[in-house]
Every structure is written in structure tokens, then in C-alpha cells.
Amino acid sequence: MTAGARCADGTIRLNLGCGGSPLPDYVNVDMDSLEVLRERYPQQHFSNDLLVYDYDIFNLPYDDGTVDEVRADSLIEHLPFVDEPRFFHEVQRVLKSGGLLRLATPDFEAAVKEWLAAKDEWKEFYRNDPDAIRDKHWFGQYSYSTENRWGYLSAMIFGSQNGAGQFHTNCYTVPKLQAILKHLGFKEQEITRYRWKGDRDVMIQILARKL
């Protein structure tokens, strides 16, 4: 069955839902084409040599136990409840024993705490025209600040909503992720937190290996 692409060194390292963050030395997979990604991220450079594959993440074109690494940065929060188990079971299926799973997703608990601490001062309706995206409009806040509930904080919880795949339909905490990995037979390796793009959502990153 293995018909999917491989990395230059012959390994299979998948970057699922790569969006605006395709990586060298990975097989980059996204529902959007390179042309669409260039339109969505006009200030970002995409190499002409870059390939983005439109694989079904619930039915990847790889045999059982053949993939070395699955990476999914800011993907799983976009999966509806019914698709959550489909994704995790597919990752479990394709990964080799000892294969690496690298997940990063917004820390919902941290977002809720920031929401509760923020001002409740609505200013303007949401806009997603090119000028608004360029100027970080975010309901009239013109920044990624989390000082106001009705600004980028709303996008941290509900997604940017500036495209078909840009809605958050699920949420995660460290204990939930740990429970899912244990349920699927993964050994947790490392848990870290960081800010998305340096100044935005608090992210959970988990590294785990399939037993």
C-alpha cells in the first residue's frame, strides 16, 4: 500500500496540517494547495521547490508501521469531536514501533484563564479583508494583545476563521493529551509550553513514542 512520498533520506516524516509552516526534510501535508497558502500568508516566502501533498489525514497512503515521525502543529484543535479518534488511531496505525509523535496545540486552560482576566470591552465587528489581516485588526484591537476578551483572545479560543480550515472545534489540556496517549499505547517523552509565533497562544507541545 505504501505509495506516499518519502523524505530525501528515505525516511517518512510527516508534517500534517502544515499550513503556513511547511518544513524542509518533511513530507508536508495540508488541505490547502501551495497557491492558497501563498495567498493566505502573503508576507511569508515559500520556496518554488516546496511540495505540499493533499493526503487524507484519516487514511494516509502508508502501510501499517512504516512512518518514522508524525508532526502535527496546531492541527488537532481544528478537528471536530467525531474526527478526533479517527486522527489519533490513524497516527497510531502508520507509526513504527518507537516512532515519534510530535503534537502542538493551544493550551485551552491557559486561554480560559487569560479570557477571565481580560477586559470586557467590545469595539468593532470582526473583519478578514486583506487590510484587516495585514494590520492585525482583531475586532478593532490592532494587535495580538490579550488585554481584551474581544480581540485576539477570541481567535485563540475559536480560531482565526479566515478560511475553511481556520475554525477551532476542539480543545486540549495536558491531562487530556496524556490520557489519550496512554490509551493509545504511547510513552510520553517531553512536555513543553511556548507562545505561538512568539507572542500569541500558549501552546502545549508533547513528544511521545509509540510502544
Q: Is residue 6 part of a domain?
A: no
Same domain, 57 and 129: no
User: Is 29 in the same domain as 123?
Assistant: no
pLDDT digits (tens, 9 = 90+) for 85-135: 999 999 999 999 999 999 999 999 999 999 999 999 999 999 989 899 889
Here the CATH number for the domain that contains residue 90 is 3.40.50.150
- The answer, yes or no, to whether residue 10 has pLDDT greater than 80, is yes
Name the band, by pLDDT with cuts 50, 70 and 90, for residue 40: confident
Residues 6+ apart with CB under 8 A from 31: 17, 54, 164, 165
Residues 125 and 180 in one domain: no
Q: Tell me the helix, strand and coil percentages in the chain, rounded to 5.
A: 30, 25, 45
Rounded average pLDDT over 187-201? 93
Same domain, 100 and 20: yes
Q: Is residue 78 part of a domain?
A: yes
Say whether both 34 and 91 belong to one domain: yes
Residue 83 forms part of a structural domain: yes
What integer best gives the mean pLDDT of the chain?
94
202 and 100 in a single domain? The answer is yes
Q: Would you call 43 exposed, middle or buried from its count of C-beta atoms within 10 A (0-12, 13-18, 19+)?
A: exposed
Q: Are residues 24 and 96 in the same domain?
A: yes
Residue 5: inside a domain, yes or no? no
Whether residue 29 is found in the same domain as residue 101: yes
Q: What three-state secondary structure class fits 102?
A: strand
- List the strands of the sheet with 186-195, edge to edge: 52-53, 27-29, 13-16, 67-73, 95-106, 202-210, 186-195
Quick one: average pLDDT of 12-18? Answer: 96
Q: Is the pLDDT of residue 42 over 80?
A: no
Considering the domain architecture, whether residues 98 and 25 belong to the same structural domain is answered as yes
In a domain, 165, yes or no: no
Q: Residue 93 domain-assigned?
A: yes
Note down the domain range covering 148: 112-158
Does residue 1 belong to any structural domain of this protein? no
| Shared-domain flag, residues 103 and 117 | no
73 with 146, same domain?
no
Total number of domains constituting the chain: 2
| Same domain for 153 and 79 | no
> pLDDT band for position 163 (50/70/90)?
confident
Instruction: Please indicate whether residue 1 or residue 125 has the higher confidence score (pLDDT).
Output: 125
- Is 27 a member of any domain? yes
